[in-house]
Structure 1
Amino acid sequence: MLIPRIITAIVLIALLATVMSLSNPLYFALFISIASAITLYEWLRISLNNQSKKTIAGAISFIVFVLFILMYFVLLQNGDENLLSSLTDIKSFQANPWPTVTFSVLMMLPFFVSFAWLFIIPMVLYQAKTQVVNNSIFHSVFAVFAVITTWASILLSYLFFGAWFLFSFLIIIWCTDIFAYFGGRFFGGSKLAPAISPGKTRSGAICGVSSAAIWMLVSAYIDNTFSSLITQHIGLIGAVGVGLAMAVLSIFGDLYESLLKRRASVKDSSHLLPGHGGFWDRLDSVLAVSPIAMAFIFIFYVI
C-alpha cells in the first residue's frame, strides 16, 4: 500500500508543480477548482443523510465549481494586476468595484471558518460520537464554506506571492502528515484518538507537529516563504508558534474526516487516488489549515 501511496503523491506534486509553473494562472485555477469540487462532492456524499445524497452532492459541487470559475474571472477580469490595483487605487475601485467586493467577501470567510476549526470541530472530536447515524446539517453546510474558503486561500496565496510561497505553506502540512505517519509506525505507543482513528498515535502526532515547527524555523531564513512573512511581523518564536498551531489543525482535519467516515461506515472518501483513497482523504488537512493561514496573510500583509 505504501508504494502506490508514494507514486500517487509524486504524480500529484508533479502535476501541481507543472500548473503552478505556467505563466497563465488560469490553468492553476482550473486545477484547484476541479480538485475542490471533487473534494466537496466526496464530503457531502458522506455527510448528507438524504437518500438522494449523491445527486444532491453532485448538484451542489457543480454549482460551486461554476462559482469558482466566475469568481476567478471577476477577480482577474483585467489581468493579473487588476486585483492589486483595485485594492490600492480608489479610482480603479470606483470604475470597476466587483474584483475588490469579491475579494472582500472571500477574505471574511477565513475568519469564520477558522473559528469553526479552532473551537467547534475540537468539541466534535472530543465527544467522538462515532455511532451517530444521521449527521446534523452543520457538517454539510460547513463543507461548502470550508471548501470555498480553501479554494480562495490557495488561489489568492498563489496570485499574491507566487508558487514558492504556496509550496512553503503546503510543506507544513506535508511534514505533519509524513512524519506523523512514519513516527507513529516507528515509536508506536498510546493511541491519539482510538474511538475515531485507531491507527494514529500520540508519538506520531508529536513527530508531525515537531517537524512542522522545524520547517517554520528553517524556512524563516528563506526568502518569500510563509514563515518569513510571519517572522517579519511577530518574530521567529511567533512563527514557530504559528507552525505548531497549524500542525495541530492539520491533525484536526484528518481526525474530523475520519470521524465522519466512521459514522458513514466507509474507509475512504472515494477510490480516485491509488494509495490515498479520494481527494478529501488527501486534502483533509489542507482544508483545516488553509483558512487560518489566509487569515494570518490578510492580517499581516493586506491590512
Structure 2
Amino acid sequence: MLKQRVITAIVLLAVLLGTLLAPGPWPLVALFTLAAACALWEWLRLTWPRPGGAFPAVLAIVAAAGLLALARQWLAPEPGAWALDLRSLLNRWLMPAVALAWVAGATAMVVRGQAARKAHGAWLSAFGVLAVVAVWAALVQLFLMHGAWFLVSLLALIWFADIAAYFTGKALGRHKLAPRVSPGKTWEGAFGGLLAAAAWVMATAWWPGSFGAVLSGRWPWWGVLAVAIFLAALSIVGDLFESLLKRRAGVKDSSQLLPGHGGVYDRIDALLPVAPIALLLSGVPL
C-alpha cells in the first residue's frame, strides 16, 4: 500500500509540474477541470439523497463541459461579454457566498460532529456544486493573474499545514480536535500546522510573485500573518468536513480513482475552502 501511495503521489506531482511549466495555460486549466469534475462526482456520491444513481456522474460531466466552455472564453484574446459578466457574477457573489458557507456553515457542522446524521443531503449536494465551481474559478483566475509560482506557494501553505499537523500530532498530540469526525487529529497537531503555514507565508513574503508577496503588497505584516493562519485553519476545516461527509455515507474514501490515495476529493478537500478566499484576499477582478 505504501509503495502504491508513493508511486501515485510521484505521478500526480509530475503531472502538476508538467502542466504548470507548459508554454500555455490550457494544460493546467484542463487538469483543473478534470479534477473538479472528479471531485464533484465524488462529493455527490457522498451526499446525494438517492445513492447509486447516475445523476452524480451526469452532473459532473455537464459541469466539466460548462467550465471548459467558460475557460475557452476567458483564455480568448477577446472574451465574450457573457463570459466577463459571468466572471463578475462569480467574483462578486459566488466567492463571498461560498466563503461564508465554509467559514460559518461547514465549521459549525464539523464542531457539532453529527456524523451519524444523513439529513440535508440535497442542500449539501447543492453546496458541493457551488464549492467545486468556486474553487475551479478561483484557481484558474489566480493562475492567469499571478502565474505558476503564486499557485505553487499557495498550495504549499496547505501542504505545510497538513504535514506539520501530522508530525506534530504524532509527537505531541494529546487532546482530540474532532473525535466524532476524525479521531486521529489533535489540537496540538492543528497548532503545529498553523505555525508551519504561517512561517511559510511570512518567509516567502519577500519572494516576488509568491502568495505571501502578493499579500504583503495589500496587507501589513500582521495582516499577512493573520491571513496565513486563517487559511491554514480553513484547510483543516475542509479536511474535517470531508471526513464528516464520508462518515455520514459510511465510506473510507470518496472513491478509488487514485490508487493508495482514495479519490480526488480526498486530495483537494483542504483546497476547496482556501482557494476562493485566497482569491478574495489577494485581489479579485470584479
Q: Under TM normalisation by the shorter chain, which class is it?
A: over 0.9
SS at match of 2:283: helix
SS at match of 2:55: helix
Q: Deviations for 1:213-271, whole angstroms, at most 9, x for unmatched residues?
A: 00011010100111111111111211111000000000000000000100111000011
Residue 49 of structure 2 aligns with which residue? 49
Question: Is the contact between residue 253 and residue 263 of structure 2 (CA under 8 Å) also seen in structure 1?
Answer: yes
Residue identity in the other structure for 1:284: D
Shift in CA distance, 217/142, structure 1 to aligned 2, threshold 3 Å: same
Residue 298 of structure 1 aligns with which residue? 283
Structure 2 counterparts to residues 68-79 of structure 1, below 5 A: 68-78=67-77
Q: Kindly indicate whether residue 108 of structure 2 is the aligned counterpart of residue 123 of structure 1.
A: yes
Structure 2 spans left out of the alignment, 5+ residues = none
Structure 1 spans left out of the alignment, 5+ residues = 84-95
Residue identity in the other structure for 2:28: F
> Aligned equivalents of 2:89 and 2:168: distance in 1?
40
Residue 92 of structure 1 aligns with which residue? none
Question: Is the contact between residue 210 and residue 244 of structure 1 (CA under 8 Å) also seen in structure 2?
Answer: yes
> Aligned equivalents of 2:4 and 2:163: distance in 1?
15
Identify which of 182, 196, 221 aligns with 1:236: 221
> Aligned equivalents of 1:37 and 1:51: distance in 2?
18
Residue 102 of structure 1 aligns with which residue? 86
> Aligned equivalents of 1:189 and 1:5: distance in 2?
28
> Aligned equivalents of 1:204 and 1:177: distance in 2?
9
SS at match of 2:183: strand
Residue 99 of structure 2 aligns with which residue? 114
Structure 2 counterparts to residues 82-231 of structure 1, below 5 A: 82=78, 96-108=80-92, 109-231=94-216
Residue identity in the other structure for 2:89: V
Alignment identity in percent? 37
CA RMSD of aligned residues (A): 1.5
> Aligned equivalents of 2:255 and 2:128: distance in 1?
16
Q: How many pairs were matched up?
A: 285
Residue 39 of structure 2 aligns with which residue? 39
Residue identity in the other structure for 2:106: I
Q: Give the drift of 1:51.
A: 4.1
Residue identity in the other structure for 1:229: V
> Aligned equivalents of 1:202 and 1:143: distance in 2?
27
Question: Is the contact between residue 45 and residue 51 of structure 2 (CA under 8 Å) also seen in structure 1?
Answer: no
Q: Which moved more, 1:254-263 or 1:231-240?
A: 231-240
> Aligned equivalents of 1:211 and 1:255: distance in 2?
19
